[in-house]
Amino acid sequence: MRSIEVFKTNVKGRRTASFLVNEMKEVFPGHKVSIDLDDSDKVLRVESSKGEIKASAIINLLEKRNFRCEVLND
């Protein structure tokens, strides 16, 4: 079962985004992670083919790094 979660963040800068993406891939193995810095919401997209994505764990990880992160509703 494939799951996708989309988050609004305040991540800025390619280096920062790259660092966070790499860290999330380590913490959440098997997940595809990307951050769209060109979008006004600095969208973080997380996809898993191995089941449910724990949004709270992703939000906590970014908040520990002093970034805002919230689930982006449709």
Note the pLDDT tens digit of each residue in 25-36. Answer: 999 998 999 999
Containing 71, the helix (H) or strand (E) segment is strand 69-71
The whole-angstrom distance between residue 29's C-alpha and the CA centroid of its chain comes to 13
Pairing status of strand 43-48 against strand 3-9: antiparallel
What DSSP character marks residue 73?
-
* Number of independent structural domains in the chain: 1
| Residues ≥6 apart with Cβ < 8 Å to 71 | 5, 6, 7, 8, 55, 59
For 40-73, the pLDDT digits (tens) are 999 999 999 888 899 999 999 999 999 999 999 8
Q: What pLDDT score does 74 carry? A: 61
Average pLDDT estimate for 6-15:
97
pLDDT of residue 50: 81
pLDDT for residue 2: 84
The CATH number covering residue 12 comes to 3.30.70.100
Range of the domain at 38: 3-71
